[in-house]
Structure 1
Amino acid sequence: MTNQTTSLGSGGHRSQPEPLRIGVIGVGNMGQHHTRVLSLLKDVELVGISDLNLERGIDTASKYRVKFFEDYHDLLPHVDAVCIAVPTRQHHEVGITCLRQGIHVLVEKPIAASIAEAESLVNTAADCQCILQVGHIERFNPAFQELTKVLRTEEILALEAHRMSPYSGRANDVSVVLDLMIHDIDLLLELTNSTVVRLTAAGSRAPQSNYLDYVTATLGFANGVIATLTASKVTHRKLRRIAAHCKTSLTEADFLKNEILIHRQMSASCMADHGQVLYRQDGLIEKVYTSNIEPLHAELEHFVNCVRGGKPPSVGGEQALKALRLASLIEQIALDGHAWNSEIIQGVEHGLLYPDALGDRPSYPTTA
């Protein structure tokens, strides 16, 4: 477990706490970034990394001058915390192993490949009194942080989220809902702070794909807000946007440009002699300035601070589980074409009711 104590040096001054020992399990796309940022954080010792791909693991370890562990079990006795960036289907196995050894965990989203596995991780973290943070990185995006501040004084009527990417070979073991849309599911649940009471969804697959690659969903919340989410792995342009339609404004957040624009309606005109309008302004656009901090840097700093201080993370297991339950329901509805009412949705959110195949991964139709 982490050494949280500080000692008194000569003259009675407090010495700095020992560095937090962290390892990275899985150094693929996201794991590479975790390794890079951890190597730069103060009061953190990047002890080592582990990966099933020996060549990639050895190269990464050499680049950051840390030890490579072919078997991640051999890394665990040397660390206080780990970042887990393995494929989704391995999240549960690796996460449970770490938590049971008293090691704090940051696991990439989604928290697990099934609701049952996610609940197991949440319960184990509580039993072992370990921090469990989930990598919903957009919570730490400066644009989203500012968006939440802007919307505190607005009456939200509707929300739109678009998260689209060209097709790639990454995250090909889950659908676009669990790969991309789950980010916006988490963000919209945070922004609305309300219960979903209506839900419809539809989706399609690319040729030769066993998973949904394009999904759109419409959610109705108990507080009256309507939200539309669209996620795609087959769009030839990368988009990461949320728009909030409010009573007195339209606020657009672009997470790629790190930009927020607020559109407000107004009526201003300048009248000349004989009633002729020389100048007219129908609307005003405000630009909100955001910081340039890297979201992953902010996320990992938050994780380190939670481990040191023993405080729950802003995106812990419970929040991630709520997003996964809703994502799983959206995925299932998109597959079977049904719409669900508030009783069923609320039951799923509270873990009381699971439609067929929802407790495990949905059974996808196979391609011909």
Structure 2
Amino acid sequence: MTALRAAVVGAGHLGRFHARKYAALPGVELVAVVDINLDRARQLAGETGAEALDDHQLLPGRVDLVSVAVPASRHFIVCRDLLWAGIHVLVEKPMTTSLVQARQLITLADQQRCVLQPGYVERFSPVWQSLQSHCHKPLFIRASRLSSFSTRGNDVDVVLDLMIHDIDHILQLVPSPVARIDASGRPVMTRHSDIADARLHFCNGCVARLTASRISSQPQRRLRIFQQDQFYCADLHKNTLERFSRPSGWQSHPLKRQDPSPLKFPLSDPLQAEIQAFIACIRHRRQPQVSPRDGMRALKIAHLIMQHMSASPMLTTDQRAPTNSGGQPK
């Protein structure tokens, strides 16, 4: 089997993980690490036995596939240049920052017969896969994704930085168009919204509420799914799944825990599984499990949420509901 030649563009937090995975995989040769900060590229290249470069334009002719882990605002430029050169691309979410750019990348990937895979790594988590197998007709979904403040990812809104993971999950669980969106969000630490809350109303009656924050004290990645006579709570941070149910038609009975304690899934490596799936698509000429059209669907909903957030007025002190001396609304 001929070894595939790989490179990673972006030697920051996520790029380091990608480079180490490629360097350890059989049948793959990590050829280059690229970063506009050449010293940072050299450090990671030295750890993984690759060549350090400072321009992704130097990759055509040298590699077969690339992981793109640069800031989201540069995804389009880098991916466009690589796809145009016939290089297969795994790009961290969001695929791009605009729908026009996403369509252009999909068209280019089709023309060049290249694999373009958006990096929704949680799709390869055993907890998510188990949850998805149990959910057939959700009635209500509650998604919470919280993280502490970091300078990484702050070139885009928290909806594109964090919430888009849960948008992707929900679109996989609910096979129905979105009928209405209510959303609000506020910038706190950056010039973009750092905390956001959205409610998606689907045509089939399902409602999903999503909260994302990158200014929280404790991390949280939790999905709660309610469907007829069943409730599931997946903790993607702690790698657990709780299941509750009652016999159909037993209206007077409460939901009962199906398991003595939360199901604890063994430690796994979703990023390695994601990269291996990407490589398998290249070798066997098949479409990725997470398709670029999946990435564009999530991006479309993300932009609709941000549009509703920008239309949501920020109350001034004079506009807030009057309160009594106890601080409660009158």
Give the alignment's TM-score, normalised by structure 1. Answer: 0.80
Percent identity over the alignment is: 36
Q: What residue ranges of structure 1 are gaps of 5+ in the alignment? A: 1-16, 267-280, 339-368
Amino acid across the alignment from 2:194: D
**Residue-by-residue CA offset, 1:63-113 (whole Å, 9 max, x unaligned):** 111111122222232111111111111111111111111111111110111
Q: Distance in 2 between matches of 1:150 and 1:42?
A: 34
Deviation at 1:335, TM superposition (A): 1.3
Q: Distance in 2 between matches of 1:29 and 1:77?
A: 27
> Conserved in 2, the CA contact under 8 Å of 1:25 and 1:72?
yes
2:183 to 192, 197, 201: 201
> Conserved in 2, the CA contact under 8 Å of 1:49 and 1:75?
no
Residue in structure 2 matched with residue 80 of structure 1 by the alignment: 64
1:263 to 212, 222, 244: 244
Q: Distance in 2 between matches of 1:283 and 1:183?
A: 29
2:88 to 104, 114, 134: 104
2:24 alignment partner, SS class: coil
Q: What RMSD in Å do the two structures reach over aligned CA positions?
A: 1.7
1:182 alignment partner, SS class: helix
> Conserved in 1, the CA contact under 8 Å of 2:244 and 2:255?
no
Q: Distance in 2 between matches of 1:73 and 1:238?
A: 37
Q: What residue ranges of structure 2 are gaps of 5+ in the alignment? A: 248-253, 314-330
1:182 to 148, 157, 164: 164
Deviation at 1:288, TM superposition (A): 3.6
Number of aligned positions between the proteins: 306
Q: Distance in 1 between matches of 2:257 and 2:40?
A: 51
Q: 1:240-259, aligned counterparts within 5 Å?
A: 240-259=221-240
Q: Which structure has the greater CA radius of gyration?
A: 1
Q: Distance in 1 between matches of 2:203 and 2:286?
A: 30
Q: Distance in 1 between matches of 2:284 and 2:223?
A: 33
1:237 to 192, 215, 218: 218
More divergent stretch after superposition (211-220 vs 73-82)? 73-82
Deviation at 1:34, TM superposition (A): 0.4
Residue in structure 1 matched with residue 320 of structure 2 by the alignment: none
Deviation at 1:291, TM superposition (A): 4.3
Residue in structure 2 matched with residue 156 of structure 1 by the alignment: 138
1:77 alignment partner, SS class: coil
More divergent stretch after superposition (173-182 vs 41-50)? 41-50
Q: Distance in 1 between matches of 2:285 and 2:218?
A: 41
Residue in structure 2 matched with residue 169 of structure 1 by the alignment: 151
Query: Is residue 199 of structure 2 the alignment partner of residue 212 of structure 1?
Result: no
**Residue-by-residue CA offset, 1:199-239 (whole Å, 9 max, x unaligned):** 100111115x2100111000111121110000001111100
Deviation at 1:332, TM superposition (A): 1.3
Q: Distance in 1 between matches of 2:126 and 2:186?
A: 32
1:218 alignment partner, SS class: strand
Deviation at 1:264, TM superposition (A): 2.6
Q: Distance in 1 between matches of 2:255 and 2:65?
A: 55
> Conserved in 2, the CA contact under 8 Å of 1:137 and 1:299?
yes
2:105 alignment partner, SS class: helix
